[in-house]
């Protein structure tokens, strides 16, 4: 009798109904509006178990202040909360990445973000809890495991009282969450207050954040911070792509200061405007995980462009490394600029002119000029040869020898050009472009989803008394055969070498990451179906034929199944785990009292 097997697929959870805007005047500032509870786990009980600073840690690792010292250079002056830990290597990364390169000439206030590797052996007491908050997030919004994001608000103003002649300081939020728009909005509230009132207001802000509800996908949250109330909704993987379920209601949001319709999306149209005619080619390069470098005049333009590139293949998660702002001081500088091997699958955003020489061997270079949008459309630019790229002062454009697999889509170019001529609002242009990329990615991924779904064993092959059946293997030739009748031509008007694009994609890190995730979901679904089949069995009748040893063995295996289901949050129907507990209890009660006492003891891990 085998009760254990592999771990894999998940039946799509029913899409939750759109939330009507509730009357926010009846909601306390840090209250949550929740979706109907999902299977497995009482989230309210989990929240009640949180300790001081756990809520803060669910959003941020820490807050840093980075200043400039004439003798020491950049230095971390303050870390909040004071108990937060950063390794020396992490502090060094934060120091160098929190200031623009000197050539950027960023006077006034500048916002940008960076991403860097976490130190090894980083552990958190919130590990299991954060997994439960993460499980319903879309792939692109899941918590980073090996990297931190740094969200920066940098101020540089003239100050004759200082030796250097300038006041230079950055307020930096360090987090594992990729909520770019949210954290930049948060900094716009916190940073000006901090520069005026210094440390006491940081302490107050940290205390505000530690009273926030945790960032559960699907919940509408009202978050008070320094006298302002933000209203946000964390998206779920079940949302209809391209929609926002958070709408401002003037009457009901009387106590809400700022409503954020998105927590993570950047303005694609503004970011891609300088390389407007190469949208589709850039989508292919990102999809295939090609080595890309963005050369920009400032960290703000560099980081926005890299984030726009990474998000253009949504809902697919970009699975390679990306650095929205990268400097010569970065710990991976040598690794990423070496000429002894091919450039890695990574997207780098740089501003230092030194990189024009250091990275000139890279296959694809995007040169971004000033993003202050011109009144008229940029003239059509041909793809430039890499040998023409000499310095960061080279003309904006895409420098590459890459030949796209798909024919150019003139329709989207004309549509956006017309929008510029008619002075269509930037938000509308952004929505058109985001919808275009979404439909292009969906057309590409649907045939893969359809084929992978066919690898799932039939439900009738699941026996409660055998290990769950294995998924059938992904065979590239078999998948390619399905494209003739059920390929992207069913949903996309684009012509070209789709087969070649798929062949290249199947060798990329993005395919590997996507397929690993799908295989895990499918294995978990098989485990869940196996568990449900087991719960429908008459165990009392079955154990009548068992010896005492076999019955004890059955109890231990059922307990293992229960532990696995709870740990992995298997997608079982409501009531399944209660039924399994009742089965276990019923079987234990058929055994002698001494064994009952042993089996009733909680399992020690």
- Whether 143 maps to a domain, the answer reads yes
pLDDT at 122: 58
Angstrom distance (rounded) from CA 262 to CA 182: 8
- Cβ neighbours around 306 below 10 Å, total: 29
Residue 472 lies in domain = 452-510
Cβ atoms of 468 and 6 closer than 8 Å: yes
In a domain? residue 437: no
Same domain, 249 and 362: no
Q: Give the domain-ending residue among 216, 240, 259.
A: 259
SS3 content of the chain, % helix, strand, coil (to 5): 40, 15, 45
Phi/psi-derived region of residue 530, left when phi > 0, alpha when psi is between -120 and 50, beta in every other case: alpha
Q: Write the CATH number for 155.
A: 3.30.450.200
Do 211 and 293 have their domain in common?
no
Give the residue from 233, 227, 195 showing the smallest Cα distance to 32.
233
Angle at 88 between CA 82 and CA 93, to 5 degrees: 100
- The answer to whether the CB of 294 falls within 8 A of the CB of 309 is yes
Based on the fold, state whether residues 88 and 202 are members of the same structural domain: yes
Same-domain status, 470 and 595: no
Determine the pLDDT at residue 379: 53
3-state secondary structure at position 152: strand
DSSP-assigned letter for residue 386:
G
How deeply is 350 buried, as exposed, middle or buried, from its count of CB atoms within 10 A (0-12, 13-18, 19+)? buried
d(CA 214, CA 588): 39
pLDDT for residue 265: 92
What residues contact 595, with CB distance under 8 A and at least 6 apart? 548, 552, 588
Domain boundary among 403, 418, 433: 418
pLDDT on residue 7:
34
543 and 500 in a single domain? The answer is no
Question: Do 145 and 207 share a structural domain?
Answer: yes
Cβ–Cβ < 8 Å for 23, 252: yes
Q: Which residues of the chain have pLDDT under 70?
A: 1-49, 70, 102-105, 121-132, 242-254, 370-382, 385-394, 602-605
Residue 203 maps to a domain: yes
3-state secondary structure of 502: helix
- We report the CATH number of the domain holding residue 381 as 3.40.50.11500
Contact 220, 16 (CB under 8 A): no
The predicted pLDDT at position 476 comes to 96
Burial 104-138 (b: 16+ CB within 10 A, else e): bebeeebbbbbbbbbeeeeeeebeebbebbbbbbb
- Identify whether residues 364 and 495 lie together within a single domain: no
Both 246 and 335 in one domain: the answer is: no
Beta bridge partners of 347: 292, 322
367: left (phi over 0), alpha (psi -120 to 50) or beta: beta
Q: Are 349 and 324 in contact (CB under 8 A)?
A: yes
Q: Are residues 471 and 323 in the same domain?
A: no
Q: Which of 420, 431, 438 is nearest to 267 (CA)?
A: 431
Dist CA 523 CA 34 (whole Å): 28
Q: How far apart are CA 585 and CA 600, in angstroms?
A: 9
The predicted structure's pLDDT at residue 440? 96
Structural domain count of the chain: 4
Q: Contact at 8 Å (CB) between 56 and 82?
A: no
pLDDT at position 572, please?
A: 87
38 φ/ψ angles, rounded to the nearest 5 degrees: -85, 180
DSSP summary character for residue 496: B
Per-residue pLDDT, 166? 80
Strands 346-350 and 292-295, bridge-based pairing: parallel
pLDDT of residue 584: 87
Q: Provide the CA 521 distance to its chain's centre, in angstroms.
A: 17
Position 2 in a domain = no
Extract long-range pairs of 380-385: CB within 8 Å, 24+ residues apart. Answer: 380/277, 381/275, 381/277, 381/278, 383/278, 383/281
Domain-embedded: residue 82: yes
Q: Rounded to 10 degrees, what is the CA torsion of 172, 178, 183, 184?
A: 90
Q: What is the pLDDT, as a whole number, of residue 387?
A: 59
């Amino acid at each position: 009798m085998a009760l254990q097997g592999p771990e894999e697929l998940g039946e799509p959870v029913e899409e939750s109904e759109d939330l009507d805007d509730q009357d926010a005047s009846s909601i306390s500032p840090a209250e949550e509006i929740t979706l109907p509870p999902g299977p497995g786990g009482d989230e309210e009980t989990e929240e009640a178990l949180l300790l001081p600073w756990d809520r803060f840690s669910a959003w941020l690792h820490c807050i840093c202040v980075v200043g400039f010292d004439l003798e020491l250079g950049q230095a971390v002056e303050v870390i909040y909360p004071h108990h937060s830990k950063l390794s020396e290597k992490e502090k060094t990364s934060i120091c160098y990445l929190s200031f623009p390169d000197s050539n950027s000439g960023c006077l006034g206030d500048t916002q940008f973000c960076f991403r860097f590797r976490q130190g090894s052996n980083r552990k958190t007491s919130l590990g299991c809890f954060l997994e439960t908050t993460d499980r319903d997030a879309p792939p692109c919004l899941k918590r980073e495991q090996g990297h931190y994001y740094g969200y920066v608000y940098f101020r540089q103003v003239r100050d004759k009282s200082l030796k250097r002649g300038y006041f230079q300081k950055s307020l930096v939020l360090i987090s594992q969450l990729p909520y770019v728009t949210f954290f930049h909005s948060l900094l716009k509230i916190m940073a000006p207050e901090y520069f005026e009132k210094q440390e006491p207001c940081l302490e107050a802000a940290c205390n505000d954040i530690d009273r926030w509800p945790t960032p559960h996908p699907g919940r509408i949250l009202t978050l008070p911070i320094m006298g302002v109330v933000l209203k946000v909704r964390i998206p779920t993987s079940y949302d209809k792509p391209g929609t926002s379920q958070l709408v401002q209601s003037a009457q009901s949001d009387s106590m809400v200061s700022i409503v954020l319709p998105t927590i993570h999306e950047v303005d694609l149209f503004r970011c891609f405007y300088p390389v407007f005619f190469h949208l589709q080619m850039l989508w292919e390069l990102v999809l295939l995980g090609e080595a890309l470098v963005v050369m920009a005049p400032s960290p703000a333009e560099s980081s926005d462009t890299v984030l726009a590139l990474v998000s253009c293949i949504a809902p697919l998660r970009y699975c390679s490394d990306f650095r929205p702002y990268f400097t010569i001081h970065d710990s991976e500088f040598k690794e990423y600029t070496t000429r002894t091997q091919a450039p890695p699958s990574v997207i780098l955003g740089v501003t230092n002119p030194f990189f024009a020489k250091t990275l000139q061997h890279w296959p694809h270079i995007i040169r971004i000029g000033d993003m202050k949008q011109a009144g008229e459309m940029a003239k059509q630019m041909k793809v430039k040869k890499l040998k023409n790229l000499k310095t960061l002062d080279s003309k904006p454009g895409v420098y590459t020898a890459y030949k796209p697999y798909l024919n150019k889509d003139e329709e989207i170019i004309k549509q956006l050009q017309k929008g510029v001529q008619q002075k269509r609002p930037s938000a509308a242009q952004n929505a058109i472009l985001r919808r275009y990329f979404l439909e292009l990615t969906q057309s590409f991924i649907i045939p893969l989803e359809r084929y992978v779904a066919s690898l799932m064993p039939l439900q009738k092959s699941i026996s409660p008394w055998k290990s769950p059946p294995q998924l059938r293997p992904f065979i590239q030739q078999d998948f390619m055969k399905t494209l003739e009748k059920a390929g992207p031509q069913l949903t996309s008007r684009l012509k070209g070498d789709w087969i070649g694009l798929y062949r290249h994609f199947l060798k990329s890190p993005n395919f590997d990451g996507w397929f690993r995730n799908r295989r895990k979901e499918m294995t978990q679904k098989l485990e869940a179906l196996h568990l449900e089949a087991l719960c429908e069995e008459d165990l009392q009748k079955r154990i009548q034929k068992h010896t005492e040893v076999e019955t004890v063995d059955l109890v231990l295996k059922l307990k293992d199944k229960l532990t696995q289901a709870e740990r992995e949050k298997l997608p079982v129907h409501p009531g399944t785990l209660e039924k399994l507990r009742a089965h276990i209890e019923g079987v234990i009660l058929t055994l002698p009292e001494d064994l009952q006492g042993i089996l009733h003891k909680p399992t020690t891990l």
